[in-house]
Amino acid sequence: MKKSILVAAAIAAGAVMFVAPVANADPSPDDPYGWNAYQDRTDSFVSPLDPGAYFDPAKVYKSLLISPYGTSHYIECRGDGHYVKMHDCRQYDDNGNPHNLNLVANPIRPLYIYN
């Protein structure tokens, strides 16, 4: 009796495993939460010439950006800024071409320069 119940349970479990749908949108095994994917980070930057860039409480935590476009053009970076530090940033020009933003050592706060 126990043997037949175990066989029936094994067959049922096998059928469920065989019929169960497979997920198609598997995250990258190296980045399961997407923290290293490119995300819009335009609001995380401020121009050094922006009034209040150094004393406005809403802007002092933002990274400085030296770029011909300032912060008027789309900027994207990898990292979420909390669990993964922002890195590999790029800004798009008028034609939609990406240009790297190089991080420069700065004792005050992060400074990125348009390349």
Residue 42: give the domain boundaries: 35-114
Please give the pLDDT value at position 97: 95
CB atoms within 10 A of CB 70: 16
**Cα–Cα distance between 13 and 85 in angstroms, integer?**
44
Give tens-digit pLDDT for 60-77. 999 999 999 999 999 999
22 within a domain of the structure (yes/no): no
88-107 per-position pLDDT tens digit: 999 999 999 999 999 998 88
- List the structure tokens of 33: 């939460």
- Does residue 77 lie within any of the structural domains? yes
The upper half-sphere exposure of residue 44, i.e. CA atoms within 13 Å in the direction of its Cβ, equals 21
In a domain, 29, yes or no: no
User: Cβ of 91: how many Cβ atoms within 10 Å?
Assistant: 27
Is 19 part of a structural domain of the chain?
no
In a domain, 47, yes or no: yes
Select the more confidently predicted residue: 23 or 65: 65
User: Considering the domain boundaries, does residue 98 fall inside one?
Assistant: yes
Count up the domains in the chain and report the number: 1
CB 57 within 8 A of CB 20: no
Which pLDDT band holds residue 83 (cuts at 50, 70, 90)? confident
Report if residue 23 sits inside a domain: no
Does 90 map to a domain?
yes
